[in-house]
Structure 1
Amino acid sequence: MDFQTFLRRIPKVDLHCHLVGTLRPQTLAQLASTHGLALPRPAETLYDFADFYDFLDVLRLASASVRTADDFSRVTYEALQDGHSAGNLRHAELLFNPQYFYPYGVSYRTMVDGMLDGMAGAERDFGVSALLVASFDRMIDAAGAMQILDDVLAYRKPQVVGIGLDGAERTGPPQRFAEVYARAGAAGLKRTAHVCEDNQTLEEAPPSNYAICRDLLKCDRLDHGYNLLADPAMVMRARDEGLYFNTCTITSVTRNLERRRASIAKMVDLGLNVTLNTDDPVMFKTDIAHSYQVLFQSQPQWGVARARAFSLDGVAASWLDDTTKAALTDSFRTELDTLEAALEPS
């Protein structure tokens, strides 16, 4: 077995995966047709984005095509199936934005019941576990986010383990949501947020947002983090605090791909805790195995030890309960040992 095959076959966790970014083009076309929606361009080119903000618009458009519990079950099942078949995905924590679906008459309960059904099917058929993270797009105001949290808490399901904050940082600074995050934390929900994303400028997504997410939002882990590298003092703080950054190798902005991979490598070199994830895999024309492979191709000095670290750090950064996390860690180590023994000499 060569090293690229090893990277594809090692067990993996995906902690930064937006559900609406997993829709297969054919699924999107079918659901849109069912609900009487016209796509702005053919499904086969819908994911050819002009820029980051075009991507965000298409992401929200895809949300309009998922309306029934069966729709949510289907796309959730397919997302976990695709991750498993492409790259031995074993656990995922899927982010979903209720505000995307409310305008189409979809209740929070419908979303969650559908996703839980899809998750149960994927665990039964592929052995892939999953948790859910209810997220707010920053374009919403704090009152709207609080209303979503009302729904999360009113229909409390243990699989909805935390909250997140995504979308363009320039449209909603993290401090806007401090009260929402405080209430979520008091209710026992985990907290994450997109921060310092490099598809935005340092002025739009500054390193100082890290401090706000830690000091005001009390985040347990963070998504992205690349712009943090512009502030060495903030990097040192993040390293000392030990939070995990759920990075994503592939981005919607193609001109940023090389810089993104270099940033992830530098984060690792500087001692930050980093996991590898897909973000919006189908929309970005990637999968969990590809996300590993392209990053390692850009860092030829990396080898088995770094691959093992990414695999196990995914489990460590997950929001699984301690007992499940320990069992999954043991399983990963056993599988990694077996795969490493089958590697061809480099």
Structure 2
Amino acid sequence: MSADPNDFIAGLPKAELHLHIEGSLEPEMMVALAERNGVRLPYADVDAVRAAYNFTSLQDFLDLYYQGMAVLQTEQDFYDLTLAYLRRVAQDNVRHVEIFFDPQGHTGRGIAFATAFDGIEKALRDGADELDITAGIILCFLRHLSAADAMATLEEALPYRDRIVGVGLDSSEQGHPPAKFQAVFDRVRAEGFHAVAHAGEEGPPAYIWSALDDLKVERIDHGVRALEDPDLMLELARRRTPLTVCPLSNIRLCVFDDMTAHPLKMMLDRGLMVTVNSDDPAYFGGYMNDNYAAVRQALGLTNEELALIARNSFEASFLDNATKADYIAEVEAYVRAVQA
């Protein structure tokens, strides 16, 4: 084993549970797709796009994120985007992914639901064959839009129900509490989907409570502000509710001043089921291993703690129990080999 502690991370099997596929749009691909589809971008070249990937708030990021979506127009575009992501994370020994997909960001600009969905799903199937990565799709509602719009999107997705593993809630938290979508998530669960929601990144701990109690979600995406509420911390630990934490995203969006201030280690120490993920890696400057390395270095995480996070990522997934056990066994075998 090399003396470089990041070598342990490089070989560690892991799952990614918090990844917006539209947020994996690298500047080079954005420019290439714009040229392919005749889309005019307000940037002269790739360097100008990359320079624009510099923001100080969630809203600044979202403005750029939705602008970037304009280049995604055909099934082939969504296929290329998704397969490029899979090939990149295969290099980080990511073995399973559950990706977020924002249909309203596409249907709202005239792209058919099927165009986006079919391109993403075909890439996931081909990625499984080429890269041996298992995958699921989580359809997300944009919370800055209405609950009625979310319900209409759910109706449109129902014919694809056997190809969608779960339903989530993302976009800007402020002013859009989870309870706004309670009736929609009642329907989500009635239709048999798993449920997740972004809460407690930009929004307060009360939003995490609401996601748990009003939406009855199985995972909290982000959840880093839970430490502000001791009772919430105890409840998350009691329920073993997985938290899909995205460290580099939290720093780029100024949720915390720097990585040394990130609460991930405190969350681990208090028994929370924490996972590490990349969120929107093209925009936040880091894929999975970059996020693992950043918290290891800043927070002094041990190999044992990193392996725990990796085990959590598989346990928190929506895979069947037998497949979860197989992946966790891969983690255990890797740890034993390193120790030997």
TM class, shorter-chain normalised?
A: over 0.9
Report if aligned partners of 2:247, 2:262 keep a CA contact under 8 Å in 1: no
Using the TM superposition, give the Cα deviation of residue 330 of structure 1 relative to its aligned residue in structure 2, in angstroms.
2.0
| Distance in 2 (alpha carbons) for counterparts of 1:257 and 1:15 | 25
Give the aligned partner of residue 285 of structure 1.
Answer: 285
Give the aligned partner of residue 235 of structure 2.
Answer: 237
Question: Are residues 227 and 183 of structure 1, via their aligned partners in 2, closer, same or farther at CA, if it must alter by over 3 Å?
Answer: same
Q: List aligned pairs for 1:257-272, cutoff 5 A.
A: 258=258, 262-272=262-272
Give the aligned partner of residue 170 of structure 1.
Answer: 174
Report if aligned partners of 1:97, 1:134 keep a CA contact under 8 Å in 2: yes
Check if 1:30 corresponds to 2:32.
yes
Give the aligned partner of residue 53 of structure 1.
Answer: 59
Q: List aligned pairs for 1:31-110, cutoff 5 A.
A: 31-41=33-43, 42-85=48-91, 87-110=92-115
1:52-110, CA deviations, whole angstroms, 9 ceiling, x for partnerless residues? 2110111111222112111111111111111111x111111110100000133222222
1:234-269, CA deviations, whole angstroms, 9 ceiling, x for partnerless residues? 211111111000001112325735268521122112
Give the aligned partner of residue 19 of structure 2.
Answer: 17
Residue ranges of structure 2 left out of the alignment (5+ in a row): none
Q: What SS does the aligned partner of 1:170 have?
A: coil
| 2:187 aligned partner, one-letter code | R
Report if aligned partners of 1:250, 1:257 keep a CA contact under 8 Å in 2: no
1:269-317, CA deviations, whole angstroms, 9 ceiling, x for partnerless residues? 22211000001111111010010011010122x3121111011111000
Give the aligned partner of residue 344 of structure 1.
Answer: none
Q: What SS does the aligned partner of 1:59 have?
A: helix
| Distance in 1 (alpha carbons) for counterparts of 2:52 and 2:12 | 31
Give the aligned partner of residue 213 of structure 2.
Answer: 215
| 1:179 aligned partner, one-letter code | A
Q: What SS does the aligned partner of 2:263 have?
A: helix
Question: Are residues 31 and 260 of structure 1, via their aligned partners in 2, closer, same or farther at CA, if it must alter by over 3 Å?
Answer: farther
Q: What SS does the aligned partner of 1:49 have?
A: coil
| Distance in 2 (alpha carbons) for counterparts of 1:339 and 1:14 | 22
Corresponding pairs, count: 332
| Distance in 1 (alpha carbons) for counterparts of 2:139 and 2:127 | 20
Check if 1:112 corresponds to 2:117.
yes
Report if aligned partners of 1:249, 1:261 keep a CA contact under 8 Å in 2: no
| 2:338 aligned partner, one-letter code | L
| Distance in 2 (alpha carbons) for counterparts of 1:97 and 1:276 | 21
| Distance in 2 (alpha carbons) for counterparts of 1:206 and 1:327 | 37
| Distance in 2 (alpha carbons) for counterparts of 1:322 and 1:263 | 30
Give the aligned partner of residue 151 of structure 2.
Answer: 146
Report if aligned partners of 2:18, 2:279 keep a CA contact under 8 Å in 1: yes
Check if 1:122 corresponds to 2:127.
yes
Measured on the aligned residues, the alpha-carbon RMSD in Å equals 1.6
| Distance in 2 (alpha carbons) for counterparts of 1:79 and 1:145 | 27
2:248 to 243, 247, 250: 250
The alignment's TM-score, normalised by the length of structure 1, stands at 0.91
Report if aligned partners of 2:196, 2:221 keep a CA contact under 8 Å in 1: yes
Question: Are residues 81 and 340 of structure 1, via their aligned partners in 2, closer, same or farther at CA, if it must alter by over 3 Å?
Answer: farther
| Distance in 2 (alpha carbons) for counterparts of 1:106 and 1:169 | 25
Question: Are residues 262 and 323 of structure 1, via their aligned partners in 2, closer, same or farther at CA, if it must alter by over 3 Å?
Answer: same
Q: What SS does the aligned partner of 1:218 have?
A: coil
| Distance in 2 (alpha carbons) for counterparts of 1:309 and 1:259 | 20
Q: What SS does the aligned partner of 2:97 have?
A: strand
Question: Are residues 275 and 231 of structure 1, via their aligned partners in 2, closer, same or farther at CA, if it must alter by over 3 Å?
Answer: same
Question: Are residues 309 and 186 of structure 1, via their aligned partners in 2, closer, same or farther at CA, if it must alter by over 3 Å?
Answer: same
Q: What SS does the aligned partner of 2:108 have?
A: helix
| Distance in 2 (alpha carbons) for counterparts of 1:339 and 1:259 | 27
Using the TM superposition, give the Cα deviation of residue 319 of structure 1 relative to its aligned residue in structure 2, in angstroms.
0.7
| Distance in 2 (alpha carbons) for counterparts of 1:31 and 1:317 | 34
Using the TM superposition, give the Cα deviation of residue 44 of structure 1 relative to its aligned residue in structure 2, in angstroms.
2.6
Report if aligned partners of 2:256, 2:262 keep a CA contact under 8 Å in 1: no
Question: Are residues 258 and 111 of structure 1, via their aligned partners in 2, closer, same or farther at CA, if it must alter by over 3 Å?
Answer: same
